[in-house]
Structure 1
Amino acid sequence: MPVTGESKVIETIINRRSVREFTDKLISKEGINTILNAGRWAPSGLNNQPWRFAVIRDPETIQKLSECTNYSKTVAGAPLLITAFLDSENSYNRTKDIQAIGASIQNMLLACCELGLGAVWLGEILNQHEKVNSILGCPSKLELMAVLAIGDPAPGKRTSTRKALSELVFEEKYGEKWEE
């Protein structure tokens, strides 16, 4: 197995970018199911699958949700939102379950990239979680973890950088730098 970034999965991970502007093109039901299936196949402790998702395509609901965040233009401009929730009734360890939901969200973002779609993981909207749950009619057992804005990416170049591994990794003892 290649370890130098030659595999399709590694290539997708490295090339994925957050997309905040979309065209008006709608996402097919098949595409939505592909994204959701990628999310549900994420790992979770004891395979408890603590995530629940809401699919939002109604323009009026999208507009209401856009009023719950400082990133209203991104939300309002997306033809599809997928919300990720922690189902507190199916939770066995909060930290592990939140990590599992993060893995689920990443799987969905990678699926979007593979499908040629743009997506961004929105967290600031969590400040209005009660309002979001009210708009969506969610039961209190569901705790909002994120909103994904998804759509056909508007034209534009998207770039990103990352810190060097030597700034992020140490070997066995803290302070000993990792040689790249």
Structure 2
Amino acid sequence: MAISRKEEARALSADEHDLVEKSHHPAVQELSDADLAGLVKLLRERRDKAQTEAHRRRREIRGKGAAKGATPSKADGGSQLKLAVLAMAMRRLNGEAERRRQLAASVSLIENARKALVMKQGAASDGPAFNSRTARRGMRPVANQRAPDLVRPMELGRQRRAAKVAQAKRDAR
């Protein structure tokens, strides 16, 4: 479910809200790669901290963990919302980082292909290469290494059938 920016502002502190605002569409594309990496690091730390807090509160509510304050927490809706907001911001930043990585890989592939084409065209204009595929001495017959079979195939079949019939006679006794 989508979380509105108004709900985001209510769930986050001021500095967290500034970080999350940078992860939204127009602002995230204006960040440099170094700024994006720094923002990912900061936001991941905040998300992990919120996740730990949400888990602790959930344990308190179930009665499994000791209360951090004087009384155990009654609800953890705020911590869950904060965690969801920070997780969605992390997802957006990771998507932008992946988009940039794929774009850089595509550009690199195109550059390498153009470089290879220039090298190939330069090599083709120099004449035949040292290891060119030419016939040299031409085709030569290759001797058959298998020994010739002296027994006719018909004779082999006749012997096989005779052995089969003889075995059947022995088995019938």
Please give the TM-score of this superposition, normalised by the length of structure 1: 0.22
Question: Greater relative contact order (Cα 8 A, min sep 6): structure 1 or 2?
Answer: 1
**Bigger share in strand:** 1
Please give the TM-score of this superposition, normalised by the length of structure 2: 0.23
